[in-house]
Structure 1
Amino acid sequence: MTKPILKYVFCCILICSSIPLSHAQNDVQTLNTKVSVAGQMNAAKFSQLMRQGFKSVIVNRPDQEMGNAVKVSELRNIAENSQISVIYQPVSSGKISQTDILEFAKYYNELPKSILMICRSGAHSSALFHQAKSQGLLHE
């Protein structure tokens, strides 16, 4: 094999081997050692995730959003059975405000780690995290 192809194969192996299987199976993306994001949720999937060591949950998906299979009250009941706190911070699609970013940063800085953030696809939760981080609002 040529050197460029070997480099490509090596990079692919490195990337694939760095994804924890338990997270990949549950559609959870790790953003850093303290926070992960997940998309579409149901009670069974959430129950399984609560056994993976998360200490806090931030739900960014509005209860009334179309296609939402589980309300925050049900997630809260499941989490509290495992002594895990749930914060409900709904974020509207395409409308993350500075207030949302500041509110998230407050939760991030105060909640026990590791934190699982939930929205429809993980995109809004990721955006909240990255915007707060880029503004220097997160205490690492």
Structure 2
Amino acid sequence: MTNRFAAILFGLCINCTSLVYAENTQNFSQLLSQNVSVSGQMTTAKFDQLMHQGFKSVIVNRPDEEAGNQVSISQLRTIAERSHVSVIYQPVDSGKVSQSDVAEFAKYYNHLPKPILLVCKSGSRSTALFNQAKSQGLLNE
């Protein structure tokens, strides 16, 4: 009975792991609008997969020197260039989105090819930039 229980448990664990993996590979970004998605904590493998999802531009709002950052802007640019995707580096300190940050973001947004992927640690500051620029009427949609 113990071996049978262990086998069933093992089978369940394998199925759960497969589901989690499938979920994670498909949900690397969150759609904010028809033209914009946002993604949090980045790795080179995750970014490489995102570059195959049709994005034409990327705005990175996470400073390279921020604690816990796993990839540099130069690594992201190298990956993006292979997919012919434009990358803008607009570092913004977490929790300190200023009006000048919002205006600069809007300038990039309005001139970049769409769809755009926004990248920061959790997605919060990139989402804040997008939402503030949108609410102020700064984005040409």
Please report the TM-score for the alignment, with normalisation by the length of structure 1: 0.82
- Distance across 1 between alignment mates of 2:34 and 2:25: 16
- Distance across 2 between alignment mates of 1:62 and 1:26: 23
1:47 aligns with 2:53: no
| Shift in Å, 1:93 | 1.1
Unaligned ranges ≥5, structure 1: 1-20
1:61 aligns with 2:75: no
Q: CA RMSD in A?
A: 1.5
- Distance across 1 between alignment mates of 2:46 and 2:108: 23
| Shift in Å, 1:27 | 3.2
- Tell me if the contact between 2:80 and 2:87 (Cα under 8 Å) persists in the aligned partners: yes
1:76 aligns with 2:39: no
- Tell me if the contact between 2:28 and 2:50 (Cα under 8 Å) persists in the aligned partners: no
| Alpha-carbon displacement from aligned partner over 1:53-88 (angstroms, at most 9, x marks no partner) | 000000000000000000000000000111101000
| Shift in Å, 1:94 | 1.1
| Shift in Å, 1:23 | 8.3
- Distance across 2 between alignment mates of 1:89 and 1:24: 26
Unaligned ranges ≥5, structure 2: 1-21
- Distance across 1 between alignment mates of 2:25 and 2:132: 24
- Distance across 2 between alignment mates of 1:27 and 1:75: 15
Please give the secondary structure, in 1, of the residue aligned with 2:80: helix
- Distance across 2 between alignment mates of 1:34 and 1:24: 21
- State the aligned residue count: 120
Residue type of the partner of 1:129?
A: F
| Shift in Å, 1:22 | 7.7
- Tell me if the contact between 1:26 and 1:45 (Cα under 8 Å) persists in the aligned partners: no
Report the counterpart of residue 34 of structure 1 in structure 2.
35
Residue type of the partner of 1:89?
A: Q
Please give the secondary structure, in 2, of the residue aligned with 1:32: coil
Counterparts of 1:1-140 in structure 2, within 5 Å, are 25-140=26-141
Q: Which runs of 4+ in 1 moved over 4 A?
A: 21-24
Residue identity (%): 67
- Distance across 2 between alignment mates of 1:124 and 1:96: 7
